[in-house]
């Protein structure tokens, strides 16, 4: 008997996959383009292998305790591969959502800094033109707004 297990979320980002494995308490080590897990089946350590832009989980699809009585399989708290991948997928998705939130917050900060630089450039341009025309400038702040008061003394 064989099984095909597909996840909805492709594991494309190494850092997020490692974060998910850490959060689940899975012991692993990296070996080339593979992330070897502590889960063991008939063919050895089950692992995530990076191929064609995503990590796929390599395992014995027919592995269960009844099939391999002569060998102690290490299932830890996940009894099946599909349950294990379901847990990894869930935590990976949560890590991805946190990454998206961090990136959105960073983008908001960047845009706010850009806006502040633009306002400062505009203010300096207005002040420079006013000084060239002989005005004295007084800056008044009203809440979040800046008002420039131009005064010219004539004799």
In sequence order, the β-bridge partners of residue 11 are 55
Which pLDDT score, from 0 to 100, does residue 105 have?
96
In the sheet that 54-58 helps form, which strands lie side by side, from edge to edge?
28-31, 34-41, 44-51, 54-58
Task: Tokens for 149, please give them.
Answer: 């008061």
**Tens of pLDDT along 83-115?**
888 889 999 999 999 999 999 999 999 999 999
C-alpha span between 126 and 132 (Å, rounded): 10
**Contact (Cβ atoms closer than 8 angstroms) between residue 73 and residue 80:** no
Query: What pTM was estimated for this model as a whole?
Result: 0.66
Q: Any alpha helices (H) in 25-141, and if so which ranges? A: 81-132
Could you tell me which residues come within 8 angstroms of residue 4 by beta carbon, excluding any fewer than 6 positions away?
61
> Looking at the predicted structure, is the pLDDT value of residue 79 above 80?
no
What average pLDDT score do residues 111-126 get?
Answer: 92
Largest CA distance in the chain: 107
Output the pLDDT for position 68.
47
Residue 127: its pLDDT value, please? 87
| Interval 32-77: pLDDT, tens | 889 998 887 777 788 898 988 889 888 876 655 555 444 455 555 5
**Domain range annotation of the chain:** 14-105, 116-151
Q: How far apart are CA 53 and CA 50, in angstroms?
A: 7
Report the C-alpha gap between 137 and 50 in whole angstroms.
Answer: 63
């Amino acid at each position: 008997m064989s099984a095909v297990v597909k996840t909805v979320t492709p594991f494309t980002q190494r850092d997020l996959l490692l974060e998910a494995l850490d959060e689940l308490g899975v012991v692993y080590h990296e070996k080339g383009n593979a992330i070897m897990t502590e889960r063991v089946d008939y063919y050895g350590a089950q692992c995530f292998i990076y191929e064609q832009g995503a990590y796929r989980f390599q395992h014995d699809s027919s592995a269960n305790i009844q099939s391999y009585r002569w060998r102690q399989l290490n299932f830890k708290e996940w009894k099946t591969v599909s349950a294990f991948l379901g847990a990894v997928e869930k935590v990976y998705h949560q890590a991805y959502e946190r990454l998206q939130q961090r990136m959105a917050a960073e983008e908001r900060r960047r845009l706010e800094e850009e806006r502040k630089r633009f306002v400062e450039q505009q203010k300096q341009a207005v002040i420079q033109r006013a000084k060239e025309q002989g005005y004295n400038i007084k800056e008044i702040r009203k809440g979040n707004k800046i008002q420039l008061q131009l005064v010219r003394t004539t004799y």
